[in-house]
Each structure stands twice: as structure tokens, then as C-alpha cells.
Chain A
């Protein structure tokens, strides 16, 4: 129905780029505009673009995991970082920071806010994809398989 050759070809290039961009957004989020929400939404947009061109079935295969799993893992990560603080004797969700000196990557300043943000991102991606997948499963016709 919405078949478009141009969109298909463009998607082949755009999807990996968008996914990369979403990672970029996520990682720089703590210091520059970006973050888990934006990263998650961009990644979800990339996948939805793929759904529109290749269909749900194919998208599922490429994604490899079910969107539910993303939801679950995301929530577990976010809650996990909260619980982690408890293990260190701090209040729930207190962020923890470590400095690492690695030979190749150089100095890294890592905090528990990053896994939290990754959790947020996974939940956002999972939510958007679960919605789009289940709607598309039930209401085919927009995309030719």
C-alpha cells in the first residue's frame, strides 16, 4: 500500500545511521543535549522505518529479541542501578561514580547514571516497538510483506 522503492533503498542506508545516531545521543546525553529518551525515540524511529519498508515479520527477525524483552531488561537495568546504591549503603538511586584508567581508551569517568539512561532508552524503544508491532500484527495492510 505504501510501497515505495525510494523509501526502501533510503531505509537501507538510513536505518543503520539512525541507530548509530541514537547511540551517540544516548552517550553524550549527560553532558550535551541528548539522553535516554531522545536516544530511545531515535532508535525506535529507525526500527519503525524498517517496519514500514520491510514488514513486521522481517523486522522481528532483524531485531532478534522481542520488544517485551527490551522492556523487561530496560526496567531491570533502571531498577538495578537503584538497588546497586543500596548495596553500597547509600539511599536508593544514588548515583555512583568510578574513574578508570584503561590503556587504549584512556581515562574514563563512569557513573551509574549511564546504565540508568540505557535502561530508559531500552524501555522507550521497547514501548514504541511493542506498540507498533502489535498494532501492525493485527492490522496489516500498510506494509507488504
Chain B
């Protein structure tokens, strides 16, 4: 399985090359890769359907207990097949859809990386491997949604998706870590039978909330649903893939995967049922407010996700059967419909239902796929969608309590879905051509209609022969979720059951919705629905985001006001507060005792240095300042001389002299020190500076009273002659013991010299108009520079 996952990523890396070599035909070739992986997974089906599961482990970071482990059971297999199967069609489709886009290669890199991440996610066994792939889908979908990165709308939508799903991912990480800690294992496969002990643990509530936060954001459950409709700003192949088989299903997959561990409690059933049911009902009706094909499809995706979440919450055998069935149903029709919408957009230049109609003659192949998938979405027999709807109703009818409520909610949501399915699948093709299209309507290339067609045929085939998958794939997937095997039997015709009657009611109401959609769309009722749920959370998110940006902007402008001296002051103050406060808190005061012999000339020298510092600090005359500075520097040199460091003294003398000369040479070309800060600022700085100085003196006094570890110095002194053949220990340290440091130092010195050289040689920049404010010295140096230039 590692090879299967990795091969997709390798394909991603090779995609640009392939696009360069083959041009737009690359899609067909690249499509073979996911197809191959699909076949690989498909051939494990007999084994999996038999009730077995596959597990593979590759050691990776053994110290962190993070093996690259993969686990394939019915649930993983179902999703892996969807990811790769529909992925193959999408790859082919994208080759046609973006044939003329100059960044097709880049698109394939992102798309295949996304596919690899999604595949890794569904087959991962280790919690952290799972999480890495989970986050990788967030990142790659960010790139995909924002593929048209020159458009602000795309960037906005991509950012929205990233922040919502990424934020949820953070919560999920916390949940998974807690879960692994409680369960005592980091492998999903070993957790599956630990449900009872996890649910009895005091952390269960926290784990549940965090995992739900991850799953709900990813799967666009209320109140996080708003990012998904916005995500249709990406190219159509992306929407088709994201909505049908991947990304949004990751959250549902996560809940399904953890169902044996976390599911079955009242908390689980209540939360998932409530949020799922509400999301389902809300988005189904919101979908009908729009006229944009992709927008309608996006909201119906949210509706299906709500449905799947609700069914997982219910968690009975019938509900899980419905959940796995509907997952397949939805993947088939939603992928096809999005591709169809892309074809219509491509062929006519519009996706607006109000402008579309009568395309049957111009786009026959697209119509074939579109009608088949659209009717499946509407749940019309004999398509697979009908069976999906039936089993949903069955699940509701099997419930002991709340069954009626769930049934009514499902019927109401499905009524909207019938309407939406007919609107999307039929309206564009039937009737007369309504308006003038910006383009002459024409059929898309085969690469673009083959996908919807295959998915449409798939929906039809599974509808007519549900026995082809119910005993194998769906039953295994159900067993993966429930951890116990039940027989799954699907059929088009059950006889006149309550579910069938509910279906008839749904058709009748759905037909009414379809017929009166124009009026319904603008009715007060729909306006109300839109006003309450359409904008709320999305708007809150946008406002919050911008509020956050502006708030941080305001804080930044206050704290980082661009005043260098304020930054320094803050730094010094932190030093004072943190170190000084720490010392006070630790009770480490210093006894200041003058021990040892003190000679009068030493005191005189210290006084001289102190006076020179005072002069350098106080004066506003730049020449006085540098002279005072030099006096202090020579004084320090004398200190070195007095205490057995002639090398230092000589170096200090020479450097002090050179510094003085360099300062004088440059300073005469600069204006003098002008003005002074306000008394308050000076007082503040003075206090901070004096405090820091006192702090350092205190620290030194404390350190002096401790004993000094002289081992290094003694070692150097002992070995200086015997090993390095030098009498001057300081010099031996510099050129021998620590020669490497000296080498580094002279290199730095050379770089500084070259830096000075380059700075002085740089061509003059154009002066901004600020020059008016500067003094005479400025104009003088101007004149000087024009001469030398």
C-alpha cells in the first residue's frame, strides 16, 4: 500500500514533464496511474469481502513510535476505490478542461498530490500518519481551490477553506493525541475493539469534541459549512473531485473510522444526529436559492454530508448500510454533475440556469452523462440514487425513538434534492434555447464527456444490478464501521413498503418544487432561509478574519512603531525585569564588600574612566564626545596593563587610536547632535539604563564571590609550551589552541572591510525630497560626492 500511495506522489512529481512532452494528451496518460492503483485495490476486494483485513508496516521514526503503517479493511477499501477511480476520471477530465491553461503541469502536481494525500488518509493505520495526510489534504486543496491565484475571489475562497479545515485539523490533532493516550495505542486497527474503555474514560468528552471539530470542519457541517460553496471558485475538476470522492468525505471517513471507538453513546448519536440533520435540511433548501449550477451542486454536497453524518450518528445496522450506500451513490452522481456543469460552462460560457436550455442538440454526450447523473441525484428509479434514498428511509423507519422526526427531515431534504437534481440534470438540455450564449454552444472534447458518461452508466448499472456490490464492497465497508458482519442486501423493488410510500411522496413534492422553482426561489420563505443561514457563519468568519487583521495591525503599529530606540528600550527593560526580577524572586542579593587591597592609583584610574563616561553621555558636542570616549578607552587599556594583560593593553591602545581617527574622518561630514528628547523620555531611558548597569554590577559582585573554575585556563597554561612551543600563552591560544576561532574572526573582519568598501562605493541613490530639512553639512557632502564621482 505504501507503494500505491507513493506512486501517486511520484506521478505528481513527473506530471509537469509529461505535460511538456505530451501537451494536452498528458491527461490520458496520467489517468492510467490512478487507474492502476484502482485496479490494485480492486483485486484485494475478494479478500476484504471475505472479512479479512490487510495491514502493512514500514518502520519510520521508530523512537517516536510512528511506523508508516497502513490498514485496509472494507471501509478503507471503499474510500480508496472512490479516490482512485473517480480520480482517474478527473485527471482525464482536467486534461480537456484546462487544455489551454499554461499551468496545466502545475495543476497536475497539485491534483495528484491531493489524490495521494487522500489515498494515504483512508488507508493510514497510525494516528500520526493519518493526521499528516489529513493536513496534507487541507494544504493541497488550498492550492487547488486557489489555482486561479490571480483572482481575488479564488484566493479568498482558498484561504477560507484552509483556515477552517486547518483550524479543525489542529483540534483533531489534540483529539487524536488524547485518544491514543487513552487507548494506549497509536494504531487505529488496535483501537477498534477498545471502544468500551475509551468511552468510560473521563477524557471521552474532550476527545469527542476535538474529533468532531476536525470532522465537522472538514466535512462542512453547520456552522462550518460556508467554506464548501465558496470553494467552487477553484477549477471545475477540483470541485468535482473535492465534492464527490475526497476532501469533504475525509471528515465523514474519520467519523466512520472512529465509530467503533467513539460511537454508540448518547452523546455521539445526539450530536451527530442533530448537527447532521440540521445541516442536511438547511443546505438542501439553500441550494434551491441559486441559479448557478455549481452553486446548487455545492449546497447539495453539504446536504449529503449532513445526511451521512446523521446516519453515522444513528449508527444502527440499517443506518450504516444507508451511509455506505449513499457514499457511493453520491460520489458517482456528484462527480459526474460537476464535470457536466464544467462542460456546459465551457461550451456556452454560462452556468446560469436562467440562461440555459435546449442544449440537447449541441451537447449530446454531455447530456447523456448529465441526465443519468442528475436523475440519480433526484433518486429516480432505476438509478442507484433511488436505492440510496430507499435505504435512508428504511434506516429512519427502523429507529425506535425519533424515527418519525428523522423520516420527516429526510423526506423534506430529499424533496429539495429531487428538485435540484432535476434542475441541474434536465433543465439545461431540454426545451428551447433561451438566450444568446456568449459562445456558440458546442460539445466538449471526449476527455471531458467520458467522465460523466462513465459515472452515469455506473449509477445506472449499480441501480439495475445492486447485487454486484452489496454483498462485497458495501457489506465489507459496513463491517468496517460496525466491527461486526451483517448481510447487506439492496434491491430496486421491495414491494409496497413504508419506504416506498415515502419515496412516492418525495417524488410528488419534488416535482412540485421543480415545476414552481422560479417562483419558489424568490419567495419570502426562501429569502428568509437565505437570510438566516446563507450568510450568517460565513459573514461572521469574514468579519472575524478582517477584524483580526486590523486588530493585529493596530497592535503592531503601537508596539512596533518603527522607533528603533523604543525597541531597544523595550529590550533593556525586559532584561531588567526578567533577570532582575528573577534574582529578586530567587532571593539572590549581593553583599557588596570591598575585599582585598586597593591602591590609590587604581581608584584614580577608575575615577578617570567614570568621568570620561559621564562626559561622553552628557555632552552634545560630537568632538567632545569622541574625545571623552577615547579617554575612557585608554583608561581601560591601562586597567589591562595593570592586571597582567599587556597584549590586551597594546591592542586596545592601537584600536582606540584607529577608532578615533575613523570617527573624526566620518563625523566631520555629518551634522552635529541636534536637540534632545523630552525630559520624560530621558528620565525613562536614564532609569532603564542605570537599572541595567546596577543589575550587571550586582551580578558581577555575586559572581566574584564564587570560586572560579580554572581548569581550562590551567590546561592551556600547562600545555602552552610543551605542546604548542610558545611562551606567550595568550598568543598561543589565538594562533594555535583556538586557531580556528581566529581564522573565523579575520574572515569576519575582512567581510566587514569589504562591506565598508562596498557601502562607500555604492552609486548614489536619488535623494528623496526630505533633503530640504537637513543641514549645511548635507549639501557640502553633496558637492564633495559629485566631485569624486
Residues of chain A touching chain B, judged by Cβ–Cβ distance below 8 Å, are 25, 29-38, 41-42, 44-45, 48, 52, 67-68, 71, 74-75, 78-79, 82, 92-93, 95, 97, 109, 111, 113, 116-117, 119-120, 123-124, 126-128, 130-132, 134-142
Contacts and interface: CB of A to CB of B under 8 A. Distances in A.
B661 A123 contact: no
Contacts of B739: 82, 93, 95, 113, 116
B98 to A, nearest CB: 55
B753 A131 contact: yes
B696 interface: no
Contacts of A35: 647, 728, 730-731, 734-735
Most buried by B among A30, A42, A119, A142: A30
Interface in B767-789: 781, 784-785, 787-788
Contacts of B731: 29-30, 34-35, 117
Given A68-B757, A82-B739, 7 more contacts: A30-B735, A42-B650, A75-B747, A97-B725, A120-B734, A139-B665, A141-B668
A130 B727 contact: no
Nearest to B731: A35
B28 to A, nearest CB: 58
A126 B753 contact: yes
A73 B223 CA distance: 70
Nearest to B726: A30
A132 B753 contact: no
B654 A78 contact: no
Contact of A38 (B647, B724, B735, B788): B647
B740 interface: yes
A119 to B, nearest CB: 7
A124 B747 CA distance: 10
Nearest to A67: B753
Contacts of B752: 127
16 contacts: A41-B654, A48-B661, A71-B750, A75-B750, A93-B740, A95-B736, A116-B739, A123-B749, A124-B749, A127-B753, A134-B757, A135-B665, A138-B760, A138-B761, A138-B788, A141-B669
Nearest to A29: B731
B756 A30 contact: no
A101 to B, nearest CB: 17
B760 A44 contact: no
A95 B720 CA distance: 12
A45 B740 contact: no
B728 A29 contact: yes
Most buried by A among B658, B664, B735: B735
B734 A134 contact: no
A38 B649 CA distance: 10
Most buried by B among A128, A131, A141: A131
Nearest to A122: B746
Contacts of A25: 650
Contacts of B747: 75
A38 B662 contact: no
Contact of A132 (B647, B661, B732): B661
Contact of A82 (B646, B734, B743, B761): B743
Contacts of A93: 739-740, 743
Nearest to B661: A48
- Lowest 8 CB-CB distances: which A-B pairs, in order? A41-B654, A31-B727, A33-B646, A127-B753, A123-B746, A134-B760, A130-B753, A35-B731
Most buried by A among B646, B668, B757: B757
Nearest to A22: B654
Interface in B679-713: none
A37 B757 contact: no
Nearest to B650: A38
Contact of B655 (A41, A109, A126): A41
B666 interface: yes
Contact of A33 (B650, B736, B756, B788): B650
Most buried by A among B726, B752, B753, B754: B753
Interface in B714-733: 724-728, 730-732
A117 to B, nearest CB: 5
Contacts of A92: 740
B47 interface: no
Contact of B735 (A75, A116, A124, A140): A116
B607 interface: no
Contacts of A130: 753-754, 756-757
A50 to B, nearest CB: 12
B735 A134 contact: no
B552 interface: no
A69 B195 CA distance: 76
Contacts of A38: 647, 650-651, 654
Nearest to A129: B753
Nearest to B734: A35
B658 A78 contact: no
A82 B781 CA distance: 45
Contacts of B518: none
B379 to A, nearest CB: 78
Nearest to A142: B665
Given A44-B658, A126-B750, A135-B666, A140 B647 contact: no
Contacts of B664: 142
B657 interface: yes
B665 A74 contact: no
Nearest to B787: A140
Nearest to A35: B731
B560 interface: no
Contacts of A119: 746
B742 interface: yes
Nearest to A38: B650
Contact of A138 (B661, B668, B743, B785): B785
A125 B286 CA distance: 79
A100 to B, nearest CB: 14
A74 B749 CA distance: 11
B651 A34 contact: no
Contacts of A68: 754, 757
Interface string B1-13: 0000000000000
A109 B651 CA distance: 26
B726 A113 contact: yes
B657 A45 contact: yes
Given A29-B728, A124-B749, A138-B760, A41 B651 contact: yes
Contacts of B740: 92-93
